[in-house]
Each structure stands twice: as structure tokens, then as C-alpha cells.
């Protein structure tokens, strides 16, 4: 499991499985230009399945903040890519993926807009208002409120002019 390089010992990467390394490998493979859509989706699913929460959550160290945020961002990017792949095929699955992203990034207005857009597309019109209320409550925790553009966007979506606005964004 370890190998000696002449000056120090290191893990034998081909003999040890590390979920972080597997996550990064799956993302790299998904991003490769030659990947088919099926292979890309498979690797994105693998990556998102490997992400189980904040990196080294039990440790408190300033040096961990940047890698934590980078991994969190990579996970959210992978979820976003999966949403794009699945929204035309299985919008309900895409909605579930967006909800996962919201749990990890509860103050991100764009995620709430994507959720509401998918809810409207699925015909869950009552859910659109609940999503906006959830956003308002989340931002209120920070002493903030939704931006004017997000508020206008929700009003447009609720009024049934969904298709018109969707193409403007």
C-alpha cells in the first residue's frame, strides 16, 4: 500500500482507493472532449455520488477553506451539467438534482430560479410560489431579500408567461 521513493514513503495510488481521487478522476473523464454523452453522464453521476459533504468537515483549519470550496463548486458544476443532460429526457430527475444543489447552496438565487422553471415546466404551479417563499426565508437569514430581477422573474413565471421569459435568460 505504500511505496518508497528513495526519500519518503507515499501511498501506492494503484492499490489504494480514495473517494476524493475517484471524484476528481470522474470529473476529469466527464470533461474530456472525446467523451460521449453517455460516458459523460455516467462519470458525472459517479462524481456526484461520491460527494458526501464538506471535505474534512471534522477539521477546522484555514488552509482547508479553499479546497473545500473548490470541491463544493466542482460538485455543483457536476450537478448543473447533469441537470442540463437530463432536463430534456427526465425533467423530474432534473428537478431532484436541482433540489440537491439547493441544499448545498441555499442562498443561490439562480438555483431557485432553475427549480421554479422546472416546476412550471412540470405543471407544478403551486410549487413555484413555495419555492420563491423558501428563497425569501433563506435570504432573510442573512438579512437579505431576493434581487429585483429575481422578484420580477418570479412574477412573470407565476403569471403564465413562462415561455416568453425562458428565452430571454
Question: Using one digit for the tens of pLDDT, what is the confidence trace for 9-48?
Answer: 877 777 777 889 999 999 999 998 777 889 999 999 999 9
Instruction: Quote the CA–CA distance of 45 and 118 in Å, as a whole number.
Output: 20
Ranges assigned E (strand) in the chain: 2-4, 9-11
Average pLDDT over the chain, rounded to whole? 88
| 96 domain-assigned | no
pLDDT in tens, 109-122: 999 999 999 999 99
| 118 domain-assigned | yes
* CB contact at 8 A, 36 and 26: no
Pair 31, 58 in one domain: yes
Question: What's the rounded mean pLDDT across residues 4-8?
Answer: 79
**Residue 100, pLDDT above cutoff 50:** yes
Domain boundary among 45, 62, 86: 86
Domain boundary among 45, 60, 86: 86
Q: Which three cell numbers stand for residue 79?
A: 450537478
Q: Label residue 6 by pLDDT band (50, 70, 90).
A: confident
Q: Label residue 162 by pLDDT band (50, 70, 90).
A: low
Pair 82, 117 in one domain: no
pLDDT in tens, 111-160: 999 999 999 999 998 899 999 999 999 999 999 999 999 999 888 887 76
User: Within 13 Å of residue 46, how many CA atoms lie on the same side as its CB?
Assistant: 18
**Residue 65, pLDDT above cutoff 90:** yes
Domain hosting 46: range is: 1-86
* CA trace torsion 113, 116, 117, 121 (10° rounding): 170
Measured in degrees and rounded to the nearest 5, phi and psi for residue 11 equal -65, 140
Pair 121, 145 in one domain: yes
Query: What pTM value is reported for the model?
Result: 0.80
**Residue 80, pLDDT above cutoff 60:** yes
Pair 106, 161 in one domain: yes
| 115 domain-assigned | yes
Question: What's the rounded mean pLDDT across residues 80-94?
Answer: 94
**Residue 67, pLDDT above cutoff 60:** yes
> How many domains are there within the chain?
2
**Which residue bears the cell 483549519?**
61
Domain boundary among 51, 86, 121: 86
How confident is the model at residue 166, as a pLDDT?
43
Strand partners, 10: 3
Picking from 52, 115, 105, 107, the residue whose alpha carbon sits closest to that of residue 83 is 115
**Residue 165, pLDDT above cutoff 90:** no
Pair 6, 76 in one domain: yes
Amino acid at each position: 500500500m505504500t511505496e518508497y521513493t528513495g526519500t519518503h514513503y507515499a501511498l501506492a495510488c494503484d492499490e489504494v482507493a480514495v473517494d476524493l481521487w475517484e471524484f476528481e478522476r470522474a470529473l476529469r473523464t466527464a470533461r474530456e472532449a472525446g467523451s460521449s454523452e453517455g460516458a459523460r453522464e455516467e462519470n458525472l453521476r459517479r462524481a456526484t455520488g461520491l460527494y458526501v459533504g464538506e471535505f474534512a468537515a471534522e477539521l477546522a483549519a484555514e488552509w482547508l477553506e479553499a479546497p473545500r470550496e473548490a470541491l463544493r463548486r466542482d460538485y455543483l458544476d457536476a450537478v448543473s451539467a447533469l441537470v442540463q443532460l437530463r432536463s430534456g429526457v427526465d425533467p423530474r430527475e432534473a428537478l431532484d438534482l436541482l433540489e440537491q444543489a439547493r441544499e448545498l447552496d441555499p442562498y443561490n438565487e439562480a438555483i431557485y430560479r432553475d427549480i421554479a422553471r422546472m416546476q412550471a415546466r412540470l405543471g407544478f404551479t403551486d410549487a413555484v410560489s413555495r419555492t420563491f417563499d423558501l428563497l425569501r426565508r433563506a435570504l432573510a437569514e442573512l438579512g437579505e431579500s431576493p434581487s429585483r430581477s429575481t422578484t420580477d422573474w418570479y412574477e412573470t413565471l407565476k403569471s403564465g408567461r413562462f415561455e416568453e421569459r425562458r428565452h430571454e435568460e
